[in-house]
């Protein structure tokens, strides 16, 4: 168990892969559904189904990938090889996603989106599960872990900026933002840039973390996967944390999937104006708030700051978004500033999960970071699949006209109700559930002390 303080370049090098991972996630979450419904011409419900099936597969494969990496033993480590392999595959898959061939039938468009997005999500599983599990293993010290995941979130937000701004900036540079040819060009070029980002960041993380990815021998009697999986799901402490985060993630998925629809058809704002003057400030503030959340978690613990951040974000969303006047930029910009501060608290959740993994090791004697983070990501992916599917059906339900760039005022109002109370409800519900999380900072410190004594005893026995 590594207790020494990690050097800054190692923390940054570890977190860098999250730039590419998140760039792909934001690029697809914000632009993919709108691209295939308005440009490719795929029915909203079919697009939602295709995206949901792909994300469900991603979810199911996450714990399996965690289990595989837990029991991998190579000279390069047990997590790092998958970070490199997944980065290469993901960079290739993204190139295909926004470059569909000319297809005339709905079934052809549906099949292409489904097959390519399945490939994207398979590659995402290969890289992201081992990467987040490695973060929990780099250090055993509580505050050091918070710092590690702080850097991971820092680079995640850099990835958000890439995945969000690059497509809009390219489209703006081409002139007419309503031109379908310009939109196609902007998405194709943006796909190439995001592809290079994921490839480069994964290679750097693979190189910088050399020697830090230690293959830990597992017990000679390996517990079957199904048995391990079910035992994790019996951990009530983990389930409370998981359900709270999953519910909040449904809201986050609604938010990212419906954002451009809301700003364009409710507020009458162009895509480039929204991305540069609203979404960009939001993520920049979120980025700058990370240091504050790391500091406050060290000062007063992790639970209360995490609750207040998510609850505050939900309350803000419920109240303000249905009230913004048409065509005005300042009100949503102010909301983006406040929301960015609240959203920065999300880094604490990942850090708390590593504490739960410690507690599991204390109870079982087995290190299962990969399986825990795999199930964690599985839950998140299921919530994303649910959010995407419901978004597609809701667009049809509220009367959204596929392939049309203008919508009625009634559609705009309904989008505001989804983007405001619809999204905020899930943030608030998730934060309230999190209040029942039982692992206190004091109890976790005691658990870590016991684990350290076990480690020292085992080391002493081996030396004898």
- Structural domain range at position 142: 9-213+224-463
* Residue 3, domain member (yes or no): no
pLDDT at 191: 93
Residues 6+ apart with CB under 8 A from 176: 182
* Residue 196, domain member (yes or no): yes
Count of domains observed in the chain? 1
* Residue 271, domain member (yes or no): yes
The closest alpha carbon to 19, from 166, 214, 152, belongs to 152
Residues 6+ apart with CB under 8 A from 86: 123, 124, 125, 126, 127, 128, 130, 202
Reply yes or no on whether the pLDDT at 273 is more than 80.
yes
Residue 290 to residue 314: CA distance in whole angstroms = 19
Q: What percent of the chain has pLDDT over 90?
A: 26
Residue 363 to residue 359: CA distance in whole angstroms = 6
Q: Summarize pLDDT for 337-379 with one digit per residue, the tens.
A: 999 899 888 777 777 888 888 888 888 777 777 778 778 878 8
pTM of the model: 0.68
Distance of CA 250 to the CA centre of its chain: 11
The closest alpha carbon to 274, from 48, 30, 15, 90, belongs to 30
Q: Summarize pLDDT for 217-233 with one digit per residue, the tens.
A: 555 455 676 777 787 87
Reply yes or no on whether the pLDDT at 302 is more than 60.
yes
* Residue 219, domain member (yes or no): no
C-alpha torsion angle, residues 338, 155, 79, 32 (rounded to 10): 70
* Residue 257, domain member (yes or no): yes
Q: Which of 156-160, 196-200, 410-414 has the highest mean pLDDT?
A: 196-200
Residue 334 to residue 330: CA distance in whole angstroms = 6
Residue 78 to residue 371: CA distance in whole angstroms = 13
Residue 201 to residue 269: CA distance in whole angstroms = 33
Q: Dump the DSSP string for 77-96.
A: -SSHHHHHHHHHHHHHHHHH
Reply yes or no on whether the pLDDT at 462 is more than 70.
no
* Residue 312, domain member (yes or no): yes
Phi, psi (degrees; rounded to nearest 5) at 40: -75, -30
What radius of gyration, in Å, describes the C-alpha atoms of the chain?
A: 22
pLDDT bucket at 315, cuts 50 / 70 / 90: very high
Per the CB < 8 A criterion, the answer to whether 8 and 149 are in contact is: no
Residues 6+ apart with CB under 8 A from 444: 142, 355, 358, 359
End-to-end CA distance of the chain: 20
Q: Which of 83-87, 233-237, 416-420 has the highest mean pLDDT?
A: 83-87
H or E element: which one contains 270? Answer: none
Pick the residue with more confidence: 136 or 330? 330
* Residue 181, domain member (yes or no): yes
pLDDT at 143: 72
* Residue 1, domain member (yes or no): no
Token output for 292: 């504050």
How far, in Å, are 111, 258, 371, 394, 411 from residue 114 at the CA level?
5, 20, 27, 20, 27
Q: What is the CATH number of the domain that holds 245?
A: 1.20.1250.20
pLDDT bucket at 129, cuts 50 / 70 / 90: confident
């Amino acid at each position: 168990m590594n207790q020494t303080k990690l050097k800054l370049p190692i923390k940054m090098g570890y977190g860098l892969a999250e730039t590419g991972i998140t760039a792909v996630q934001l690029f697809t979450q914000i632009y993919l559904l709108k691209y295939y419904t308005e440009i490719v011409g795929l029915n909203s419900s079919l697009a939602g189904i295709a995206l949901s099936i792909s994300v469900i597969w991603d979810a199911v494969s996450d714990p399996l990938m965690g289990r595989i990496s837990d029991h991998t033993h190579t000279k390069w480590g047990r997590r790092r090889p998958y970070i490199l392999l997944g980065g290469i595959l993901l960079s290739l898959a993204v190139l295909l996603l926004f470059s569909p061939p000319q297809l005339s039938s709905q079934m052809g468009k549906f099949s292409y989106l489904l097959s390519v997005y399945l490939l994207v999500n398979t590659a995402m599983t290969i890289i992201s599960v081992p990467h987040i599990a490695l973060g929990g293993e780099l250090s055993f010290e509580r505050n050091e872990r918070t710092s590690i995941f702080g850097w991971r979130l820092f680079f995640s937000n850099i990835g958000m900026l890439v995945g969000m701004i690059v497509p809009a900036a390219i489209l703006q540079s081409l002139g007419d933002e309503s031109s379908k040819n310009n939109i196609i060009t902007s998405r194709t070029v943006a796909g190439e840039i995001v592809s290079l980002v994921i490839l480069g960041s994964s290679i750097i993380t693979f190189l910088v973390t050399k020697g830090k990815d230690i293959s830990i021998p597992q017990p000679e009697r390996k517990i079957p996967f199904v048995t391990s999986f079910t035992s994790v799901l019996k951990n009530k402490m983990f389930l409370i944390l998981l359900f709270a985060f999953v519910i909040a993630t449904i809201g986050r998925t609604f938010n990212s999937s419906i954002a451009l629809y809301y700003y364009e058809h409710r507020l009458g704002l162009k895509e480039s104006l929204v991305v540069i003057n609203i979404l960009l400030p939001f993520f920049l503030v979120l980025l700058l708030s990370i240091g504050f959340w790391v500091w406050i978690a060290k000062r007063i613990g992790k639970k209360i700051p995490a609750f207040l951040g998510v609850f505050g974000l939900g309350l803000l969303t419920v109240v303000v978004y249905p009230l913004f006047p048409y065509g005005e930029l300042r009100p949503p910009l102010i909301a983006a500033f406040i929301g960015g501060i609240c959203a920065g608290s999300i880094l604490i959740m990942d850090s708390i999960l590593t504490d739960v993994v410690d507690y599991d090791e204390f109870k079982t004697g087995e290190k299962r970071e990969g399986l825990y983070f795999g199930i964690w990501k599985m839950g998140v992916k299921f919530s994303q699949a649910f959010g995407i599917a419901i978004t597609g059906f809701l667009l049809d339900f509220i009367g959204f006209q596929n392939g049309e760039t203008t919508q009625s005022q009634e559609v705009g109002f309904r989008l505001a109700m989804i983007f405001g109370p619809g999204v905020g409800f899930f943030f608030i519900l998730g934060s309230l559930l999190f209040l029942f999380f039982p692992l206190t900072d004091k109890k976790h410190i005691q658990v870590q002390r016991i684990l350290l004594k076990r480690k020292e005893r085992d080391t002493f026995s081996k030396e004898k």
